[in-house]
Chains A and B, each alone.
Chain A
Amino acid sequence: MNCLMALLSGLLFGIGLVVSGMTDPQRVVGFLDVTGDWDPTLMAVLGGAVLTTFVGFRLLRRLGRPWLSATFEWPTRRDLDRPLVIGASLFGLGWGLSGYCPGPALLALNTGDLSVWGLVIMMSVGWWAAQRWSWQR
């Protein structure tokens, strides 16, 4: 049942990505291109997503536990550190260069485009490297 709900969540998430237009890297770059022909679509996507999730999460806080699991896995860290900022900067670089972030990249595998596969493979290598080259706390 856990897997079914995870599958449905992933499916709904992906449908949201497609309907929103975030699967078109040129739309994404259009938002990031603040000096050029600005495309505000991503702002509407983020706004809609954050507001919806904010309300939903507030409601969920009233429940004692999730439906199918013992506890809510809310993240606990609140500290700011170097890997957070350096990592986010690197992610922004990659995102700005390609117009892809992890979700849309995975969906784009469906195009069969080899450069997308290259991006996803290298993204996986990057994830491996992040665990290998971890930061001292």
Chain B
Amino acid sequence: MATSLLHGLIGGVLIGCAAILMMFSIGRIAGISGIASHALFSRPRLSQAWRWAFIIGLLISPLIVVSLGLPGNVAFSSEVVLGDPLVPWPVMAIAGFCIGLGTGWSHGCTSGHGVCGLARLSPRSLVATMTFVTTAMLTVGLTHSLRV
């Protein structure tokens, strides 16, 4: 468990460095739902290339981790860097829609609100983060009790 916490902490610091790099270089918040949703569905005039570049960086990162021989922190899979899905595909599809609609309406996710927003002491992000963490915990509690 201690190893996992250390991996988690180091990974978190790297995520923070990425957010700092993004703001330092191009002055943008590293909020994945915002970047991805605007890359796909932005109204005209918003410059898009940097959004796609960020997404490509995200998409290739597991390959880079493996080629650099960096450790992952997957506990419950034979895969080293990416875990396996937990629920059947219909639940994944419904969850996906909820994630999209929810982050779209609230203008952020765990990176935008949870990391960058809390770091900025944003009241909106504090409320958003407390809300999505609480509802996620309630969801897990409910679905686990239904299964048992």
Separation in Å of the B107 CB from the closest CB of chain A?
7
Determine which of A9, A48, A108, A130 lies in contact with B57 in the assembled complex, contact meaning CB atoms within 8 Å.
Answer: A9
**B139 / chain A contacts, CB cutoff of 8 Å:** 32, 92-93, 95-97
Separation in Å of the B49 CB from the closest CB of chain A?
5
Quick one: given A21-B7, A27-B74, A48-B16, are A9 and B25 in contact (CB under 8 Å)? yes
**A130 / chain B contacts, CB cutoff of 8 Å:** 37, 100-101, 103-105
Q: Are B65 and A19 in contact (CB under 8 A)?
A: yes
CA distance A127 to B103 in the complex (A): 8
Separation in Å of the B80 CB from the closest CB of chain A?
9
Question: How many residues on A have C-beta within 8 angstroms of the other chain's C-beta atoms?
Answer: 114
Question: How many residues on B have C-beta within 8 angstroms of the other chain's C-beta atoms?
Answer: 115
Q: Are B135 and A96 in contact (CB under 8 A)?
A: yes
Q: Are A6 and B107 in contact (CB under 8 A)?
A: no
Q: Are A23 and B81 in contact (CB under 8 A)?
A: yes
Quick one: given A102-B103, A126-B101, are A84 and B25 in contact (CB under 8 Å)? no
Determine which of A4, A23, A57, A131 lies in contact with B82 in the assembled complex, contact meaning CB atoms within 8 Å.
Answer: A23
Q: Are A123 and B23 in contact (CB under 8 A)?
A: no
| Interface SS majority for chain A | helix
Separation in Å of the B65 CB from the closest CB of chain A?
5
Interface string of B73-107 (1 = CB under 8 A from A): 11111010111111111011111111111111111
CA distance A56 to B24 in the complex (A): 9
Could you list which residues of chain B lie within 8 angstroms of chain A, going by C-beta atoms? 1, 4-30, 32-33, 36-37, 40-41, 49-51, 53-65, 70-77, 79, 81-89, 91-107, 109-111, 113-120, 122-124, 127-129, 131-141, 143-144
Beyond A11-B61, A66-B24, 9 additional contacts (C-beta under 8 Å) are A14-B57, A14-B58, A35-B144, A50-B115, A85-B131, A106-B59, A122-B96, A124-B37, A127-B40
What are 28 A-B residue pairs whose CB atoms fall within 8 Å in the complex? A6-B53, A7-B53, A9-B21, A16-B13, A18-B61, A21-B8, A27-B76, A43-B8, A46-B12, A47-B12, A54-B119, A70-B27, A72-B27, A75-B117, A80-B123, A85-B131, A87-B101, A99-B86, A101-B111, A103-B109, A110-B59, A111-B82, A115-B93, A124-B36, A126-B99, A127-B37, A130-B104, A131-B41
